[in-house]
Chains A and B, each alone.
Chain A
Amino acid sequence: MSSGASDLGARSALSVGARRPVDPGGRAAELRLAATRRRRRGYLLFAAFALPNLALIAVFSYWPIIENIYLSFTTWDFISPQADLVGLLNYQALFSSSAFPEVLWRTLVWVVVVVVVTLVLGLALALLFAQRVRGTTAVQTLAFSPHVLSGAAIATIWLLIFDPHHGLSRLVFEAFGTSSPAWTTDGSWALWALIIVSIWKGLGFVAIVYLVGIQQIPAEVLEAARIDGAGRWTAFRRVVFPLLSPTTFFLVITQTISAFQAFDVIAMMTGGGPAGETTTLSWFIYDAAFSRTDVGTSSAASMIMFVVLMAITVLQFRFVERRVHY
C-alpha cells in the first residue's frame, strides 16, 4: 500500500510540478483533464489510506451483527457442517427457562448498583478533589490508576483482600466480632464482591470526569449563588449539580454500557459461580458459546444485549442532538 501511495502522491492533488507544458490554445481542456486526473488520484489515495481500516470495521464490527442475527435463529455446536434453522426457538427457550430471567434480573441489579454507587461516590470524590487540599494531585493519580490496569489483575488483588483466612476481610470482620464470609464461594456474597471490585475500578475515572466538569463551571456563577445567600448544600443542589447534568448523562450512558459488558472481573473471581449466582448476561453469552458450545443460545442472548445497548446508545445520540440545538 505505502510504496504505491507514495508514487501517486508525488504528483497528486496539491502538487504543481506535474503539469506538462501546453500550447495556449488547448490550455483550458488540458487543465480540465489534469483536474480530473488529480481527482482520480485523490480517490485512489483515499482508498489506499482508508480502506484497510474500513474493511476491518466491516468484517469485525458490522458483519458480526448480521451473522449473529442469523445464528440466533439456528442451533449449532461449532462442529456440525452447518447450522440448523429453528426460528424463534432459542428465544422461546431462553424466556421459558427459569435460569435466564434470573440472569437478566441479576444483570439489572449489577448495572444499577454499579452505576449509581460509582457515580455518587465519584461525584463526592470530585467535589473533594475540587477543594484542592494539599496532596490532592497524588490522590487523584492513585484513584485513577485502576482505570488503566488490567481488570483481571484488579480481580486477583481483590481475591486476596476477600480471602476469609488470610485477607484483609478477616481483619475487618473480626474487628466487628464475626468471621469473614467466604465472599467468592458463598452464593449470597459473591455478586456483591464483584460489584465492590467494579465500583473500585471505575471510581477514579468517574471522579476525574466529574472534576473536569466542575472545573468548567464559571466561578462567577458560584459567586452569584453565594451573594444570593446560598449555603454550600444549596449551591450544590441548585447550581453545581444541574450544571453537571451533561456530564452525569454522559457517565450514566458510558458506565451502563461498560457495566453490561463487564467480564474479566467475573472470569477471574468466580467464573459465573457459585451455582450461577454471578452469571450476568455477559458471562452467560460467553459460557453458552464456549463452555456449552450452544451457539444458538449464545447468539440469541447476544441479540438481547445488542438491542438493550442499542436503545441506550440511541438515547445518548438523541440527547447529543438536542444539545447541539441549544
Chain B
Amino acid sequence: MTIMPTPAAAEAAPRRPAGARRPRWWSAIALVAAALVFLVPIYLFVSTAFKTNADINSWPLRLIPRSLTLDNFVNAWTLAPFDQFLVNSVVVAAIGTLLKVVLAISTAYAFAFLPFPGKRWLFIFMLGALMVPGHVTLLVNYITIGRLNLVNTYAGLILPGVASAFGTFLLYQFFRSIPRQVLEAAQLDGAGHLRTIVSFIVPMSRPAIITVGLIALIDEWNGFVWPLIATNSINMRTLPIGLLYLKENDGINDWGALMAGTLFVVLPMAVVFLLAQRYIVAGLAGGVVRR
C-alpha cells in the first residue's frame, strides 16, 4: 500500500491556501458518534457475558454490572459441548488454512515458473472459479461429499474450501515480481524446486503469504453455512454453529450463556485481527487497487 498524501493531510499542511478550512469541531463529534455505533454493541455483549443473571434480567438496563461472574461460561458448557466445538474449529481452521496456503503457494509457483502446454487456459480456468457464487455450490457439494462418505468428517468439512483461486492469484502476482536471477542463483547452488520454494520464494514473499494465510484463517474459523450442511452430529459441529444450540436449547432465556459462547467464537479472530490488521487491510486494499 503506497502512502499518498491525503486531501485532509494537504488541508492540514502548515501553509493553508486561501479558502482552506481546518477540520471542524463537528468532525470530532461525528468520530465519537461513529465510535459509539461500534463500541456500544460490543461493550454490551462483553459485559453481558460476565454479568450475573440478576443483573441481566433487571430493568433499567444495567450498563455497569454490580458484580462479575464466570457462571455464564459454565452454563454455556453445560448447554452444549463447547470443548468439542472448540477442538473441531481448531482442527478445521488449522488444517484448512495450512492446506490452502500450501496449495496456493505450489500452484502459484507452477503458474509463475514452470512450463505446461495450455497453461494460459488452465489459469483462466482457475480464475473462472472466482465467478462461481459459493451459495450455489452448496447443494451439489453436499451430495458430492455424501457420495464420498465424508459427511460428518473433518475431510468433508475441509476439502471443498481448500482450493483457492484468489489466494493463488495473489501469490502468483507476487512471485512474478521476484527477479528471475534469484531463482537461477538458487538453482546454480544446486537447489531443487522444493528447496527454491522453501528457502527463497517463501521468505521473499512472506507478507503476501501471511495475508493469504490470515484471510484463509478468518474464512475457515467463521465458516457457517458449509459446516452447518456438512455435519449433523453435534460432536462434529464447529463453534459458530455451536451458538445455534445455545439459542435453540434455551429459547434465549439465558443471555449470559449465549454471550459467553459468542465471546468464545469472537475472541480468537479479534486477537488475530488486532495483531495482524495491517496484513489483512493491505491484502484487501491490494485486491481493490489492482482492479
Contacts and interface: CB of A to CB of B under 8 A. Distances in A.
B267 to A, nearest CB: 10
A130 B269 CA distance: 27
B133 A46 contact: no
A306 B140 CA distance: 13
A46 B114 contact: yes
Contacts of B28: 133-134
Contacts of A153: 240, 243, 262, 265-266
Nearest to B168: A53
A238 to B, nearest CB: 14
A149 B222 contact: yes
A56 interface: yes
A90 B168 CA distance: 38
Contact of A160 (B6, B107, B255): B255
Nearest to B23: A131
B4 A125 contact: no
Contacts of B160: 56, 60
Given A16-B188, A264-B240, A226 B17 contact: yes
Interface stretch (B67-75, B116-124, B203-211): B116-124
A168 B40 contact: yes
Interface residues of A, number: 119
Contacts of B56: 166
B284 interface: yes
Contacts of B289: 212, 216
A132 interface: yes
A53 B163 contact: yes
Contacts of A306: 133, 136
Interface string B123-147: 0011011011111111111111010
B277 interface: yes
Interface stretch (A6-14, A96-104, A110-118, A186-194): A6-14
Contacts of A10: 190, 192
Contacts of B5: 219
A49 B140 contact: no
Contacts of A226: 17, 19-20
Given A14-B184, A148-B222, A213-B288, 17 more contacts: A46-B116, A49-B114, A50-B114, A57-B129, A60-B160, A65-B136, A71-B140, A139-B38, A148-B218, A149-B266, A150-B269, A168-B61, A215-B3, A223-B17, A260-B135, A263-B225, A299-B140
Interface of B: 1, 3-10, 12, 17, 19-21, 23, 27-28, 30-31, 34-35, 37-42, 44-45, 48, 56-57, 59-61, 103-104, 106-107, 109-111, 113-117, 119, 122, 125-126, 128-129, 131-144, 146, 159-160, 162-165, 168, 183-184, 187-188, 190, 192-196, 218, 221-222, 224-225, 228-229, 239-241, 243-244, 246-247, 252, 255, 258-259, 261-262, 265-266, 269-270, 272-274, 277, 280-281, 284-285, 288-289, 291
30 contacts: A16-B188, A42-B114, A45-B114, A46-B110, A46-B114, A46-B116, A50-B111, A50-B116, A53-B164, A54-B122, A57-B126, A59-B144, A68-B136, A78-B143, A128-B27, A128-B34, A142-B38, A144-B281, A148-B272, A152-B224, A153-B262, A200-B41, A227-B17, A240-B7, A246-B291, A267-B224, A295-B139, A298-B139, A305-B136, A309-B133
